[in-house]
Amino acid sequence: MIRYLSRRLLLAVPTLFGIVVLVFLLLHLAPGSPVTGGGESSRRISQRAAEEMRKIYGLDRPLPERFAKWVVRVVRLDFGESFVDHRPVFDRLREAFPYTLELNGLALAATLLIAVPLGVAAGGRPEGPLDRVSGAFLFALYSLPSFWAALLLQALFCIRLRWLPLYGVASDAAPTGWAGLQDQLAHLALPVTCLTYASLAFYARLVRASVAEARQADFVLAARARGLSARQALWKHAFRNALLPLITVLGLVLPGLLSGSVIIERIFAWPGLGRLYFDSILSRDYPVVLALSLLGAVATLFFTLIADVAYALADPRVRDGTLV
Amino acid sequence: MISGIGKGTASLWRALPGSGRAALAVVGFLWLVSAASPLVSSRASEIRLEDRLQPPSAAHPFGTDDLGRDLFSRVVAATPLSLTIGLTAAGVSLAVGFLVGSLGGYFGGAVDLVLSRLVEVVLCFPVLFLLLALAAFLPPSPATVILAIGLTTWPGDARLARAEILKARDLDYTRAARAAGASTPRILFRHLLPNVLAPLLVSAAFGVAWAILAEAALSFLGVGLPAPATSWGGILSAAPAYIEVAWWMALFPGLALFLTVSAYNLLAEGLRRASTERT
């Protein structure tokens, strides 16, 4: 297992380097040079912002030197100042982060709470009535554009029925205590629903497939032969084994959530990282765009590694080195 | 399944499950609508402010938008754009993915190590982050949208192509071609590509659905196609501002989008089943 893990960690080093290079290239993708160049971006950048860019990226210097200096700053989490309000980029990220965490944490929890039992139940009886109905339903959800669903839910629950607020984090005159919590939950309901349904199909189908496969495995048949009921064999044996593939994809949860957040946070005026990213793209706030892309990708790499380690710990074949 | 496509649509039709046939029929219908769409293009752009924000009626089956344009004509007129962008973007993704994946899978070793890292790097970024950056920073045009979508989704195709080539590169027909002195490009495109085409086509069909969604999302967010080009996402982008008075502006363009995306996904699923059951 040590061999497996050290190989995995070593391979992450060039990937990390690649991420940093790609983000750096993203900056130079903008029409002309990011500071002086032509295109519409130049008009939107103020003189002061241009000076700031020049300082941070040393644009008068040759490319490799610029890259090295940029890396040194980034390693110290120094992303410079936002062009929009001239505050440190890191502060803006820190302010938006809790909102995104709240929204996506709830959505992820809701997704797994629904997807895992549904997938196990459907996979326990492939082609059974539950499997067919949930399969068709999940397939429809999978094809449903989240921004359209969000609009329809708003039209129904916020305008026609007047049950929920249209957007925002809390009401303007937010009540305190119990009523305040209710108010917050009402604001969370639709965005969490939209983020949840969007990833539901993927996870439920994954769990279903691995449970359906594990059901046929020798160890489950053996458990049945020892006299365990179908339900016991399913939940105690097939289910545990079926969780393994779930661990590996959990590493890639983060980019999916961040992608979903961009659209949902925009529609529901949620002041999280997704909306910050989108606003920064529109206002050409390069330091924020770069910082968010870089941190998002590095965090994903980190979680993928954790998932791989967890997988190695959970799978005895990897643990004892018989499977690499 | 390859022979199914090779020998024409009849055997493909036979290989598809019922849902896949229905999906193929819907896709065919959508392309017909798209071919007929020039008939409504003048009506789609006709602004009549006195008719603005009218609910659905006999004269305007989908209602009218904030400028009094007939929404039905607009949705029909947007069909070719959404369909073509979906198809070409998925094509770009497949081409790049096949090239990167097959080279890595075929050569293995250092080439594979480097190309696999490249795939991993792109996969680490949230797709929409890259998509937005490419679409917003490159000059706005249909080509930009197609490239942005293709260049962010290819890692999936690359992983698939790599795994398939890895399986096929040491089979007898590949070794025979190599022994006969065939060049690497010839082996890759002439011998290996046709044999790994089936799973790649399934992935491409899912890719078309995804690309149509991605284009709609970009246009909805306002960084997609520049005006006056209109896609379903572009029509939808006007809906939030009028959500309190004109629900039909949100409902109908989205319905067209949903129908198209489901049809391609269902077709892909049918192709997947047809190809796995045959082998």
pLDDT of residue B29: 94
Q: What is the pLDDT of residue A86?
A: 86
Give dist(CA A177, CA A170) in Å, integer. Answer: 13
Of B124, B132, B261, the CB nearest to A278: B132
Cβ atoms of A234 and A117 within 8 Å: the answer is no
Distance in angstroms (rounded) separating the CA atoms of residues B266 and B20: 6
Residue A30 has pLDDT above 50, yes or no: yes
Mean pLDDT computed over B7-21: 75
Residue to mutate among A33, A45, A151, A159, with most B CBs inside 10 A, is: A151
- Length of chain A, please? 324
> Which chain B residues are closer than 8 Å to A145 by Cβ?
213, 216-217, 254, 257-258, 261
Which residue of chain B is at minimal alpha-carbon distance from A143? Answer: B262
In this complex, is the C-beta atom of A199 within 8 Å of any C-beta atom belonging to chain B? no
Min CA distance, B194 vs chain A (Å)? Answer: 28
| Interface with chain B: mutation pick from A11, A17, A147, highest number of B CBs within 10 Å | A147
pLDDT tens digits, one per residue of A138-194: 989 989 999 999 999 998 988 888 888 888 888 777 777 788 888 888 899 999 999
Quick count: other Cβ atoms within 10 Å of Cβ A88?
Answer: 16
Binding-face residues of A in 140-179 toward B, CB within 8 A: 140, 142-145, 147-148, 151-152, 154-155, 159, 166
Q: Which of residues 126-145 of B touch A (CB under 8 A)?
A: 126-130, 132-134, 136-139
State yes or no: ipTM above 0.95: no
| B36 interface with A at CB cutoff 8 Å | no
Nearest to A292 by CA among A258, A267, A260: A258
User: In the predicted model, what is the mean pLDDT of residues B244-249?
Assistant: 88
Q: Cα distance from B174 to chain A (closest Cα, Å)?
A: 27
Selected residues 216-235 of chain A with any CB under 8 Å from a CB in chain B: none
Most confident residue range from A147-151, B11-15, B238-242: A147-151
Q: Nearest residue on chain A to B128, judged by CA atoms?
A: A259
pLDDT for B3 equals 45
Rounded to 10 degrees, the C-alpha dihedral A173/A177/A178/A184 comes to 50
- Number of other residues whose CB lies within 10 A of the CB of residue B170: 9
Q: What is the pLDDT of residues A183-216, one digit of tens each?
A: 888 899 999 999 999 889 889 989 998 888 888 8
Per-residue 3-state assignment (H helix, E strand, C coil) for chain B: CHHHHHCCHHHHHHHCCHHHHHHHHHHHHHHHHHHHHHHHHHHHCCCCHHHCCCCCCCCCCCCECCCCCEHHHHHHHHHHHHHHHHHHHHHHHHHHHHHHHHHHHHHCHHHHHHHHHHHHHHHHCCHHHHHHHHHHHCCCCHHHHHHHHHHHHHHHHHHHHHHHHHHHCCCHHHHHHHHCCCCHHHHHHHHHHHHHHHHHHHHHHHHHHHHHHHHHHHHHHCCCCCCCCCCHHHHHCCCHHHCCCCCHHHHHHHHHHHHHHHHHHHHHHHHHHHHHHHC
Q: What is residue B245's predicted lDDT score, i.e. its pLDDT?
A: 87
Least Cα separation, residue A19 to chain B (angstroms)? 6
Q: A287: which strand partners?
A: none
A 17-76 → B contacts, CB under 8 A: 18-19, 22, 26, 29-31, 39, 41
Q: How far is A61 from chain B (nearest CA, A)?
A: 23
Min Cα separation B176/chain A (Å)? 31
Three-state secondary structure call for residue A81: strand
Average pLDDT taken over every residue of chain A: 83
Q: What is the pLDDT of residues B82-140, one digit of tens each?
A: 999 999 999 999 999 999 999 999 898 899 999 999 999 999 999 999 999 988 888 88
Measured between CB atoms, does B65 come within 8 Å of chain A? no
* Touching A: B residues 88-117, CB under 8 Å: 113-114, 117
> Confidence band (pLDDT; 50, 70, 90) for A242?
confident
Contacts of B232 in chain A (CB under 8 A): none
C-alpha to C-alpha distance for B279 and B234, rounded to whole angstroms: 42
Cα B24 to the chain's mean position, in Å? 15
pLDDT at B246: 87
pLDDT at A81: 84
**Contact yes or no for A145 and B261 at CB 8 A:** yes
Higher pLDDT, A55 or B209: B209
DSSP state of A85: T
> For residue A36, what pLDDT is reported?
43
Query: What is the average per-residue pLDDT within A46-61?
Result: 65
The Cα-based distances of A158 to A126, A154, A163, A189 in angstroms read: 39, 5, 6, 11
Nearest-Cα distance to chain B for A220, in Å, is: 25
In this model, does residue A1 exceed pLDDT 80?
A: no
